[in-house]
């Protein structure tokens, strides 16, 4: 009897240990990071990738409210790899003087980015594909990109030429493998990197960055931008596909502000062209889908799939036809800023979908956390994402958005009156998402404002602050209760005043900057009537000029008031033009 009991206890103990081991992530897991270029999250691109669905969506977690902070390639990528918002990296566009690889180097980030931190902690690191704009055949070695064990970078001015890309492999002089489809080059390098990584006992970090589904740019394009070229094996796919005719697709009435509100309705010729444009984008993604299949199969054959996290995302989103827009990005609409994020790996729940907001600035600290590297003194504007779905603490509900420069139509149409460039596209934005409310608020450099109730108006067709829509007695429903529109707008504007120049903890906990006592942790808390006068008297967000880059003197007031318990307020923002940064110094210990 005792022997049976001992055996039973031993079996139970072994089973319990096995469960714990299965649930526990390895201390130094491998990371595969797949980064596409301009992939939409609102026109069905993920649903047209069967291998992605099979291996990542069904085996991992989809983050439906993941956002890029700047809806254009280079600034978004720099934010992703550094964990900082663009107003802190001061990489705000795709080319010098405001952005591109030279700006990344000039601002010191070649010595401070995710791959380098991982390499310094014992990881073998690899990268193939597009890194940044203005990373060229002339400056690829001035200096070389730091932090990679092996690399195969695509180089301008050939980055977006699908059959004539220029590459530098492990720092060697550029070559043009003419006739090779660029996504297949990514696939070949992925296999080479995995072969190298699997021969070593060190953990690995591999980034695969195809240009799909970005537009074709340069040789072969008819005026700057054209639909992407497709691998021959994928020509003709999805012949019946059409862009979803959502309410915000080519609406009868204009929407938005500034140049967007002046766009004409698209005719049938343009709509047919746009549908085919998106079909070609979907076809270009099939080669990326093949990479997903190949990588997962290779990891499984090597016996390391269970020790590997796979991240899949895009640098920014994309619009085609929504709000009457020609193909492109650069806007603050959900189509442009809400990007795919799917994560699979040890302890990540399968077939889980979460609406908890997150941002590209969260990805670097997330990866450091899951591989067990101390964040230390790294200046992150984001915070680790709970990819395991176990966090019992409420996560912040906001995502900061910002843009500088011009909008651009990336199509054959929209060029009738000259270059398809829309000036004064500089704005600050704020996205809030919670279970019972959701908002997008923005202030443009023209000082026009937008406010959309994302629960009632997910297509962002009705700007509650436009002269046509605005009503002094208007209300917004939150938790079944009617709240005055002015009261809601005051809170959002104050939050944006913090976020538009925030740094580190004031980015992750902006309400703390306004309420140092810690009594307000989210938008709902801030709605208390106790704070009505406080928010009404706040200095409002505005611009004094439209700039192509981050010039703080043109971005209006920087200071704001902080709420003092018992009434009254004190100045909370401190102007510091030498650092181009608002310094905010609340007592963070109250939030720990």
CATH of domain 27-377: 3.40.720.10
Tokens of residue 376, six digits? 């230390």
Above 70 in pLDDT, residue 20?
Answer: no
Give residue 342's pLDDT band: very low, low, confident or very high (50, 70, 90). Answer: very high
Question: In the prediction, which pLDDT does 222 show?
Answer: 52
Q: What is the reported pLDDT for 376?
A: 87
CA distances from 51 to 87, 204, 364, 469, 588 (A): 37, 23, 26, 44, 45
| Angle ∠(548,510,479) on CA atoms, nearest 5 | 110
Residue 137: strand, helix, or coil: coil
Alpha helices in 65-133 (DSSP H): 73-82, 86-89, 100-106, 114-120
Residue 575 has pLDDT above 70, yes or no: no
Looking at residues 59-63, what average pLDDT do you find?
99
DSSP-derived secondary structure for 408-427: E--SSSS-TTSS-EES---E
The answer, yes or no, to whether residue 573 has pLDDT greater than 90, is no
Q: What are the structure tokens assigned to 141, written together?
A: 């070695």
Work out the pLDDT band at 26, boundaries 50, 70, 90.
Answer: confident
- Is residue 502 within 8 A of residue 493, CB to CB? The reply is no
pLDDT at 469: 60
Task: Give CA separation, 26 vs 31, 117, 246, 345, 422, in Å.
Answer: 12, 19, 44, 10, 49
Of 353, 488, 494, nearest to 65 (Cα)? 353
Q: What is the model's pLDDT at position 339?
A: 99
Q: Average pLDDT of 167-190?
A: 97
Dist CA 588 CA 521 (whole Å): 13
Calpha distance 482→502 (Å, rounded): 31
- What pLDDT is stored for residue 193 in this prediction? 98
SS (H, E, C) 320-384: CCECCCCCECCCCCHHHHECCEEEECCCCCCCEEECCCEEHHHHHHHHHHHHCCCCCCCCCCCCC
Q: What is the mean pLDDT of the chain?
A: 91
* pLDDT, tens only, 485-515: 999 999 999 999 999 999 999 999 999 999 9
Beta-sheet pairing, 61-63 with 352-354: parallel
- The backbone region for 108, taken as left when phi is positive above 0, alpha when psi lies in -120 to 50, beta otherwise, is left
User: Which range (58-72, 120-134, 233-247, 378-392) has the least confidence?
Assistant: 378-392
Q: What is the pLDDT of residue 248?
A: 99
Catalytic one of 68, 73, 74, 507: 73
In the prediction, which pLDDT does 220 show?
Answer: 55
- Res. 313: pLDDT tops 60: yes
170 pLDDT above the threshold of 80: yes
Beta strand 66-67 with 398-403: parallel, antiparallel or unpaired? unpaired
CB burial of 477-508 (b: ≥16 within 10 Å; e: otherwise) equals ebeeeeeebbbbbbbbbbbbbbbbbbbbbbbb
Q: Which residue has the higher pLDDT, 575 or 169?
A: 169
Model confidence at 21, pLDDT cuts 50, 70, 90, reads very low
Helix, strand, or coil (residue 570) = strand
Would you state the structure tokens that stand for residue 509, as one six-digit string?
A: 């906990």
Which has the minimum average pLDDT: 349-358, 364-373, 384-393? 384-393
Cβ neighbours for 483, distance < 8 A, ≥ 6 positions apart? 475, 476, 477, 527
> How far, in Å, are 225, 250, 405, 408 from residue 415 at the CA level?
11, 18, 19, 10
State the chain's maximal CA–CA distance in angstroms. 92
Once rounded to an integer, what is the mean pLDDT over residues 142-157?
98
pLDDT above 70 for 319: yes
Residue 507 annotated in active site: no
How many angstroms separate the CA atoms of 80 and 361, rounded? 5
Q: Euclidean distance between the first and final Cα of the chain, in Å?
A: 52
The ranges of the chain annotated as CATH 3.40.720.10 are 27-377
Which of 383, 245, 243, 263 lies closest to 331, judged by CA? Answer: 263
Asked if residue 538 lies in contact with residue 559, where contact means CB atoms within 8 angstroms, the answer is: no
Determine the pLDDT at residue 581: 34
Residue 574 pLDDT level (bands cut at 50, 70, 90): very low
Q: Which token pair is 449? A: 């404002």
Indicate the helix (H) or strand (E) that contains 4: helix 2-23
Q: Tell me, what DSSP letter sits at residue 302? A: T
Give me the pLDDT at residue 582, please: 35
Token couple for 571:
């100045």
Per-residue model confidence as pLDDT tens digits over 290-299:
999 999 999 9
Q: Is there a contact between 213 and 225 (Cβ–Cβ < 8 Å)?
A: no
Q: Sign of the CA dihedral 40, 44, 45, 51?
A: positive
Q: Give the per-residue pLDDT at 24.
A: 54
């Amino acid at each position: 009897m005792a022997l049976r009991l001992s055996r039973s206890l031993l079996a139970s103990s072994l089973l319990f240990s096995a469960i714990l081991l299965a649930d526990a992530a390895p201390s130094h897991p491998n990371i595969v990071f797949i980064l596409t270029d301009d992939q939409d999250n609102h026109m069905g691109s993920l649903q047209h990738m069967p291998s992605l669905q099979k291996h990542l969506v069904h085996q991992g977690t989809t983050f439906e409210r993941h956002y890029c902070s700047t809806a254009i390639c280079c600034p978004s990528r720099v934010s992703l790899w550094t964990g900082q918002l663009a107003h802190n990296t001061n990489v705000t566009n795709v080319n010098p003087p405001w952005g591109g690889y030279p700006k990344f180097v000039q601002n010191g980030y070649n010595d401070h980015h995710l791959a380098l931190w991982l390499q310094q902690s014992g990881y073998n690191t690899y990268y193939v594909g597009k890194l940044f704009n203005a990373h060229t055949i002339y400056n690829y070695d001035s200096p070389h990109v730091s932090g990679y064990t092996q690399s195969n970078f695509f180089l301008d001015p050939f980055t977006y030429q699908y059959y004539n890309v220029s590459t530098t492999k492990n720092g060697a002089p550029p070559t043009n493998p003419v006739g090779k489809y660029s996504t297949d080059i990514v696939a070949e390098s992925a296999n080479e990197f995995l072969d190298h990584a699997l021969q070593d006992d060190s953990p690995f970090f591999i980034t695969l960055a195809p240009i799909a589904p970005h537009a074709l740019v340069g040789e072969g394009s008819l005026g700057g931008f054209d639909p992407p070229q497709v691998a021959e094996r994928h020509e003709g796919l999805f012949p019946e596909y059409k862009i979803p005719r959502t309410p915000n697709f080519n609406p009868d009435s204009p929407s938005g502000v500034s140049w967007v509100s002046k766009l004409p309705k698209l005719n049938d010729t343009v709509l047919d062209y746009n549908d085919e444009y998106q079909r070609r984008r979907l076809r270009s993604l099939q080669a990326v889908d093949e990479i997903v299949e190949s990588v997962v199969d290779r990891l499984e054959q090597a016996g390391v799939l269970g020790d590997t996290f796979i991240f899949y995302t895009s640098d920014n989103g994309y619009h085609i036809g929504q709000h009457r827009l020609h193909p492109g990005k650069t806007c603050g609409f959900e189509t442009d800023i809400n990007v795919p994020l799917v994560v699979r790996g040890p302890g990540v729940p399968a077939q889980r979908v979460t609406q908890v907001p997150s941002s590209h600035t969260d990805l670097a600290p997330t990866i450091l956390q899951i591989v067990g590297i101390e964040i230390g003194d790294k200046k992150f504007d984001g915070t680790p994402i709970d990819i395991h779905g176990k966090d019992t603490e409420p996560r912040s509900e906001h995502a900061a958005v910002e843009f500088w420069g011009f909008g651009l139509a990336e199509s054959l149409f929209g060029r009738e009156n000259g270059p398809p460039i829309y000036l004064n596209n500089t704005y600050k934005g704020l996205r809030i998402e919670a279970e019972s409310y959701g908002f997008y608020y923005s202030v443009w450099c023209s000082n026009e404002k937008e406010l959309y109730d994302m629960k009632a108006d997910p297509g962002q067709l009705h700007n509650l602050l436009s002269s046509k829509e605005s009503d002094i007695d208007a209300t917004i429903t939150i938790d079944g209760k009617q709240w005055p529109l002015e009261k809601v707008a005051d809170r959002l504007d104050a939050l944006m005043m913090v976020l538009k120049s925030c740094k580190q903890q004031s980015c992750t906990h902006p309400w703390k900057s306004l309420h140092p006592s810690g009594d307000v942790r989210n938008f709902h808390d801030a709605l208390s009537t106790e704070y009505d006068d406080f928010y009404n008297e706040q200095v409002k967000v505005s611009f004094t000029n439209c700039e192509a880059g981050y010039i703080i003197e043109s971005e209006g007031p920087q200071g704001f008031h902080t709420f003092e318990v018992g009434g009254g307020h004190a100045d909370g923002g401190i102007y510091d033009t030498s650092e181009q940064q608002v310094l905010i110094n609340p007592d963070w210990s109250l939030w720990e």
